[in-house]
Structure 1
Amino acid sequence: MLRKLVLGLALAASACAPAPPSMPATDAIELLERFAAGAAGIDVCSPQGRATLRGAVRSYSAEMEAAGVAWPTLPDEGALKAVDVTVVMALVSGFVEPSDLDGRARALAGGLMVANFPQVRDFHRAARVACAELVELQQTASRYAIERQRLERLMARADEGARAAERVRRQSERLRTTLADMHALAERVERRVAESRHAS
């Protein structure tokens, strides 16, 4: 009886959630890029914000699939972009539903998060009890991807003299700082998750 009641409440909640909006792929990728940079103006901790993010992911994913392009890019397939990091983390956290992306991304997302954020054992719970911190972690991870790409570009030109070598050194330091920020945030998220378990 209790199980039926819980299932009924879950179905009612999902029925009340706003549907992901449809949008042109150009608008979708623009929104995703702004979200990855922390400037989209959508709150994925709210049902409306989550629906907007899902709509953007669905629209852009469908466009890429129609073009025969695998998206998002995963680490073993080439340079990881900020948007790719954000979308994979959103999938693991439950901000984006598995049906919004293709099976390839769904299958690899869990392993990717375990490898990069071993501190966080339950991203879905984190989305419920530490949503703001989880969003901040996503944005920091996106920034890390951007900083890593910059370092790779600078290293390709590092033989151009002392000034180029100094730029590589400074960028390496920025990358280390961003990585430290990312792991500190992951630990903060896991603390909130642990606290919620003890409280329940």
Structure 2
Amino acid sequence: MLRVIAAVLTLTLGACAPAPAHMAASDASEVLERFAAGAAPMDVCTPGGRAQLRGAVRAYGAEMARAGLTWPQVPGPGVDPASLKRMDIAVMIAFGAGFVEGSDFRGHARPMIGRMTLTQWPEIRGMRAAARTSCAQVAALQQAAARFVIESERYESMRGEGGEGVERQAMMLLRARREMETLAAQSGLSVGAAGS
């Protein structure tokens, strides 16, 4: 039933989405790196900006598929948190916010990203709906949520080690969480019990 609901939502929301822009894989890589760094060359709150981001996701995903890789790499069992890239996390959260559609991903990534985003990151629920009324705030929240997820994954991988490194990481996680909570409140969203 959850798959049917997700499929209907994807089709309904996708019908309003702009067509993805065509671009070379090298250009796509640069666009996605800048997007993940918070310096996107486009505004995801405009139809053209979303089309450019969606085109970058499609072009980069196609290039990774040609290389025999599944992209983006999805956090979970068997995945080293240190191997997660900011770009992967930013794109997954952009999917949660509705800036990227499920159809923009290829192969195994397509079903994995929807499940992972909805089940493992409850902090980003509601971003898609909020983006319709306060897109600029949700775009900032998307960046903060990406930072939070990266810091959270790092903390989880270090937690058993103890020492100053874990304490430093705990502080970084706390800062990322506070930033995300502040932006979520400004967007009218609740981030629930994120990271607890």
Shared fold (TM-score greater than 0.5)? yes
Q: How far 1:84 moved relative to its partner?
A: 1.1
Correspondences of 1:171-186 after superposition (within 5 Å): 171-186=169-184
Alignment size in residue pairs? 172
Q: TM-score, normalised by structure 2?
A: 0.71
For the 8 Å contact 2:97–2:131, the answer to whether it is kept is: yes
- Report sequence identity in percent: 45
Correspondences of 1:45-64 after superposition (within 5 Å): 45-64=45-64
For the 8 Å contact 1:81–1:142, the answer to whether it is kept is: no
Equivalent residue number for residue 128 of structure 1? 132
Distance in 2 separating the partners of 1:149 and 1:108? 18
For the 8 Å contact 1:120–1:187, the answer to whether it is kept is: no
Distance in 2 separating the partners of 1:188 and 1:117? 19
For the 8 Å contact 1:21–1:51, the answer to whether it is kept is: yes
Question: In the superposition, relative to structure 1, how do residues 103 and 186 fare at CA in structure 2: closer, same or farther (>3 Å)?
Answer: farther
Q: How far 1:20 moved relative to its partner?
A: 2.6
Equivalent residue number for residue 100 of structure 2? 96
Equivalent residue number for residue 39 of structure 2? 39
Deviates most, 25-34 or 118-127: 118-127
Question: In the superposition, relative to structure 1, how do residues 73 and 191 fare at CA in structure 2: closer, same or farther (>3 Å)?
Answer: closer
Q: CA RMSD in A?
A: 3.2
Return 5+ residue gaps in structure 2 as ranges.
Answer: 1-13, 191-196
Q: How far 1:105 moved relative to its partner?
A: 2.8
The partner residue of 1:82 within 83, 86, 104 is 86
- Partner SS state of residue 74, structure 1: coil
Equivalent residue number for residue 106 of structure 1? 110
Question: In the superposition, relative to structure 1, how do residues 120 and 57 fare at CA in structure 2: closer, same or farther (>3 Å)?
Answer: closer
Return 5+ residue gaps in structure 1 as ranges.
Answer: 1-9, 160-164, 193-200
Distance in 2 separating the partners of 1:67 and 1:119? 33
Equivalent residue number for residue 195 of structure 1? none
Question: In the superposition, relative to structure 1, how do residues 58 and 86 fare at CA in structure 2: closer, same or farther (>3 Å)?
Answer: same
- Partner SS state of residue 38, structure 1: coil
Deviates most, 183-192 or 26-35: 183-192
Instruction: Give the number of the structure whose residues are more often helix, by fraction.
Output: 1
